[in-house]
Structure 1
Amino acid sequence: MRRTVKLAGGVSAVGLILAFGATAAQAGTSYKSYNTTIGKYGGAGYSATQTKRFTDASASVRSATVGGDYTADVCLVPSNSGFCLGGSKTINDGSNVLVWNFATEGSTVRLKFTDGWQWVNVQVTGTWASD
């Protein structure tokens, strides 16, 4: 989407567009860190909770590390359950994914991380926003 601004008095339109653009980028839930360990033998790890701001928005997950060169699956779950509210995505070091879900505005949600049936614990770190 492109915005055109006409200004008088020598104010830079580019400066205003950049300023408003930076503000618009903050819309939605802010990114929060996660650092959890997925238990071995089919275990799961969970992030802290966030409150959904928009019903139709996907959660954004920015993976920093998935320990030991493993991959992990991530989905969005209610704060009091481990049942995925939609799709899941596979992440590894440096992944940036959107996780679609059925969570509604105002609901308290968290991320659930799994990695199949590994023989070791796997630590995952990064940031996420429920949006």
Structure 2
Amino acid sequence: MSLSYTLLVTGSVYGSQSARNAYGFACALLEKGHKLNSVFFYQEGVHNGSDLVVPANDEFDLTQAWQKLALEHGINLETCVAAALRRGVLSKQEAEQHNRDHHNLAHGFEQVGLGSLAEALLTQDRVVQF
């Protein structure tokens, strides 16, 4: 039986293992035939959506991996807009709205409110937090 999932990622792109574990879990559930509808990045997890993260040449590029996975499987990559703004991760729209000269939300990520997470809690078979 195939289940629908949303992942809630609260760990930063680097500095903790939770985001990398979430990515591994995402790959495993897709391989098993389940549907991953969205990944919601919250708290420090919003750093996964920064276009300014540049890992060393010999390190795994987690932001790029999320982007590729989303593109291949039609997954929504959502950063909590309030958490992202507090941590300096801005979409083009948010940068303009707040009179900032630059934006750094990585391609394929979008900024949404907590309502998106609430909807996932009501509509998905499983919501798993990392």
Shorter chain as normaliser: what TM range? under 0.3
Considering only CA atoms, is the larger Rg found in Structure 1 or Structure 2? Answer: 1
Name the structure where strand makes up a greater proportion of residues: 1
Question: Normalization by structure 2: what TM-score?
Answer: 0.26
| Greater share of helix | 2
Name which structure has the greater RCO, CA cutoff 8 Å, separation 6+.
Answer: 1
